[in-house]
Amino acid sequence: MDYIKSRNNENEEDNMFKKFLVIAIVITNILFMTSKISAMQLTVVGQRTLQGLERGHFPMEPAWSPDGNELAIAMDDGIHVIGADGGRREQVAPEEYKNKENLSIFSHPTWSPDSKKIAFAWCEGGVTSGYPCNIWIVNRDGSNLERLLESKIRTFLPDDKRCHPPYDRYYGHPSWSPDGAQIAFDFTEGETGKQFVATINLSTKEIRVLTEGNNPIWTLGGINLAYNMKGLYIMNILNIHSELVMWDNRKLTGEGISWSPDGKMIALPQGRRIKVINMVDNQSILLPSEDLLQTVTSCKWSPDGAHLIVELCDFNIPRYNIVILNIR
């Protein structure tokens, strides 16, 4: 009797596994076909240049607000916010640099999930190793500017004649998590020059160094973190397990790459066009069908997946322009 019960249990487990396998195959096929259609049939149905940007301020690295209504843009005098349809532009940080020339570099604005705050990198004096690179947070209305991560002066022995950068860490590439609880970033060690990906808990200010690499981006609902390390990796932050998903000698993440809202596709600059890659079947397409007027230096999906905002640069001048592509 015990043998019969044991065999029955094994048969039930075997049947359950087969049912699970069939369901998994069906779901995989559905995702495959859906992703293939949505990626390979994308087309640009219109485009417009974002108005309200002064050419002299070098608008760069536009970032959609999660509600889709506004764009945060890094310019040479600070972080600006402009409506997604163009028009009125506001400088939200820092107040002391309004209408003034300076040598600072502002970059990589990223929004909180409720669209009420913006984090960004600020390299005072430029991106040379002699100046600090910190990460700041400011309210959308420009209030409560606070430094989140600060480069600190290193201590040297009197007889240390080595020409090391004077700061311990140089912070950059902030990326706000979808749940709003933490910000991912990278930093370069002043002593070794190595780059690392880390997160900071916004409540406890605890820093968690995850891996070597740079340019982190949250994807797939905030469970995974994409980053670059001579290729595109995705890390599950729960178990710190990383997998290589694309090999490329160029930097694939950060200002260059963007994940679609559903996590199925990525878009990245490809000369004067954008390459959209289906991450399920690795099929790709170039958008738009004809070259844009300038070189694409970054691109970002809109929260609803209906638009790509594109940073264009004429390297001969140099001059930056922001173009929004309508896709379907």
CB atoms within 10 A of CB 113: 16
Rounded mean pLDDT of 277-282? 84
CA 298 vs CA 49, 63, 98, 295, 322: distances in Å: 15, 10, 26, 9, 10
d(CA 309, CA 325): 6
Second CATH level (architecture) for the domain 42-155+163-327: 6 Propeller (2.120)
DSSP bridge pairs for 235? 225, 242
For residue range 72-119, list pLDDT tens digits in order.
Answer: 999 888 899 999 887 778 888 876 655 455 567 888 999 999 999 999
Structure confidence at residue 38 (pLDDT): 52
Q: Give the C-alpha distances (Å, rounded to integers) separating 51 from 16, 82, 313.
A: 59, 9, 16
The pLDDT tens digits of the residues spanning 174-229 come to 999 999 999 999 999 887 889 999 999 999 999 999 999 999 999 877 888 988 88
pLDDT in tens, 170-188: 899 999 999 999 999 999 9
Segment 29-73, tens digit of pLDDT:
444 444 444 556 788 999 988 876 765 567 888 999 999 999 999
